[in-house]
Structures are given as C-alpha cells and as structure tokens.
Amino acid sequence: MRRKCIVCGRDAIIYVPYARSAFCREHFERYYERRIARTLKEHGFRGGRVLVALSGGKDSVALLAALVRLRSELNIEVEAVHVNLHIHRNQFSDVSLDVSKRVCEALGVRLHVIDLKETTGLTLPELVSASARKPCSVCGLVRRYLLNRFAWERGFDWIATGHNMDDACTFMLKALLTERLEDIARAPEVVTPPRPELRLVGRIRPQLFTTARENRTYVAIRGLPVVEVKCPYSEEATLHKYMKLWEHIVRVNPVSPVTFLRTVLRIKRALGEDAELRTCSRCGFATTGDVCAFCRLMERVRRET
C-alpha cells in the first residue's frame, strides 16, 4: 500500500525513516525548510552575511535554495561562491560551473567564482601530481583555504557548506572503527563560530541532520539543475565500503543517524579542545604549526614545477 502524507493524507512522495514520517510534495518542502531553520536555531545561529559554497551537487544546490527562502526568518544575506578546480576529465569542472551559474540565475543570487588556475597558477590535477597527498585531500585543503580567504577578504560572517548526514555518519563510523581520534576531534558541527583574531570566517553546516535523499528530493521539487557527472577522483575514495556498512545499520535502526551523530559530537566535546590554532607565518591565516598546509603545498609545488 502506498504511504500517505502524515500532514494531509495525500499520496506521499518520500518516506523519512529517522522521522518515521511520509510526506507529499508540498509538505515535504515545508518539512525540509523547517528542519534546516530549526537545526541552525537550535545550535545558536543568529544570522549575518552568508557565503554558500556551491559545487553544483545536490547538497549545495538544496542548501542554497533553502537558505534563500529562509533569508528573512534567519536574518541572513546570501551569496554563493563556486571554486573552479579545472578538472577536465568528464568535463567535470565545466559542467559544475555551468550548473552553478544556472542555479544562481534561477534563484536570483549573486555568484562569485574562485578560479584555481588564476589564483595558484595550477589546475587541481596539476596540484595533485605535485603533491604527496591523495586527490580528495588536496582538493579539500585548497578549497577550505581559498573559501575562507575569499570570504574573509569580502567581509562575510559565515561560509555555508552542504555536508549531509549520511556522509558525516560514514566518515565518523570509519573514524571509530579505525581508531582515528583526530577525526572525531574534527567532527563537523552545525555551527562553528568565527574567530576574527585568526582570520577564520564562521562555518555553518545546516544539512548535518538531513539525508542525501532528502536533499535530492528537495532539489527535484524546486526544479533546479544539479551536476550529474561524478568527480573523476571520487572512485578513489576509500569511504565506499563504510557507506555500505552504514546503509545496513540504518536499515536495522532507522533513527540511528541522528542519535549516532549526536553521540559522536558528545564524544568530541568530552575529548576537549581541538589542536591549538595560531596564524601562519607566511600568509597570516589560521594553522596549527608555523606554516599552514596551503602555504606548504604551494612551496612544494613551486620547487617541483
């Protein structure tokens, strides 16, 4: 038998396991936006200028669309930024940039573009071959650094990123099963306040308690485009097997994503403060050592090219 919307009784389009509720189109849209707003408010978010990191994937597109709708309720101004990584295999970067432009046009949002080649002189594949790190790690490092610098220089209070609950849980499950306490200590939070003395812009992850499927459904309801091609480096990710394991856990216990994440965040707090931060002696942005990972990468690349 088809499930019915718990609000109006019409045929449901989605069942949300952790909420044990099914929704029709209209009521899912409302549920999703309420959940984003509530997640932020419950974590003490009070508004400001928000820069959404838009990759063109379903999570960040859904995030931008929801935040635009919630502008006045959350007391935020919203702009978007896309990092062009110049990954040309599968036309990945061209497609991602094109989708980002179309999404922003449809939503009436200003889009900024950080061009990796213009900023560093190199494309992501070139940076990857000059570095000893894995592609996703180079990508994450460079993106985090450039987004923060860009947002800081333009006076944004917050960077919003599209972390979904499934990815966060999978990452944390792996951390617990492989004894990586340093990853637990870095567990993503819904709100990480700004630290102006370290030139760190605040971070919000409003989708930390919504699933990938909910994000995809919301984007479809809103009729927005998303990037369907995969990043050519993504097959190299080792998270895949943990993803399968996680899916199994959710089948056994549908509420586990919410309780699991809450538990991990409590462990994180019990572990105490993350590594002490200071400013990089080269660029002046936050780091744990003397020179930040971005400056070290750039120095290595300069030596090797």
Applying CB under 6 A, the residues found at the interface with ligand FES are: 135-136, 139, 231, 233-234
Smallest distance, ligand FES to C-beta of residue 205, A? 17
Instruction: Give the distance from CA 73 to its chain's centroid.
Output: 22
Q: Which does 57 bind (CB under 5 to 8 A by kind): ligand FES, Zn ion, none?
A: none
Q: Is 8 in the site for Zn ion (CB under 5 A)?
A: yes
CA atoms 165, 166, 171, 174: torsion sign: positive
Smallest distance, ligand FES to C-beta of residue 274, A? 23
Q: Which two tokens stand for residue 181?
A: 């306490």
Smallest distance, Zn ion to C-beta of residue 145, A? 8
Q: Which does 176 bind (CB under 5 to 8 A by kind): Zn ion, ligand FES, none?
A: none
**Separation between Cα atoms, residue 66 and residue 71, nearest integer Å:** 9
- Strand, coil or helix: what is 91? helix
Whether the CB-CB separation of 76 and 67 falls below 8 Å is answered with yes
In the chain, what is the straight-line distance between the N-terminal and C-terminal CA atoms, in Å? 63
Q: Is 149 in the site for Zn ion (CB under 5 A)?
A: no
Whether the CB-CB separation of 170 and 181 falls below 8 Å is answered with no
Q: Which does 231 bind (CB under 5 to 8 A by kind): ligand FES, Zn ion, none?
A: ligand FES
Smallest distance, ligand FES to C-beta of residue 133, A? 11
Q: Is 7 in the site for Zn ion (CB under 5 A)?
A: yes
Q: Which does 275 bind (CB under 5 to 8 A by kind): ligand FES, Zn ion, none?
A: none
**Separation between Cα atoms, residue 49 and residue 195, nearest integer Å:** 15
Whether the CB-CB separation of 59 and 162 falls below 8 Å is answered with yes
Smallest distance, ligand FES to C-beta of residue 50, A? 22
Q: Which does 282 bind (CB under 5 to 8 A by kind): Zn ion, ligand FES, none?
A: Zn ion
Q: Check residue 208 and report its DSSP letter.
A: T
Smallest distance, Zn ion to C-beta of residue 282, A? 4
Q: Is 13 in the site for Zn ion (CB under 5 A)?
A: no
Smallest distance, ligand FES to C-beta of residue 136, A? 4
Helix (H) / strand (E) containing 4: none
Whether the CB-CB separation of 198 and 286 falls below 8 Å is answered with yes
**Separation between Cα atoms, residue 294 and residue 147, nearest integer Å:** 12
Q: Is 297 in the site for Zn ion (CB under 5 A)?
A: no
Q: Is 224 in the site for Zn ion (CB under 5 A)?
A: no
**Separation between Cα atoms, residue 231 and residue 135, nearest integer Å:** 11
Q: Which does 199 bind (CB under 5 to 8 A by kind): Zn ion, ligand FES, none?
A: none
Smallest distance, Zn ion to C-beta of residue 186, A? 19
Q: Is 280 in the site for Zn ion (CB under 5 A)?
A: yes
Specify the pairing of strand 202-204 against strand 158-160: parallel
- For ligand FES, give the closer residue by CB, 62 or 124: 124
Q: Which does 56 bind (CB under 5 to 8 A by kind): ligand FES, Zn ion, none?
A: none
Judged on CB neighbours under 10 Å (0-12, 13-18, 19+), 256 is middle
Q: Is 245 in the site for Zn ion (CB under 5 A)?
A: no
Q: Which residue in the block uniquely carries the two structure tokens 């923060």?
A: 148
Chain residues binding Zn ion by CB under 5 A are 5, 7-8, 24, 27, 280, 282-283, 292, 295
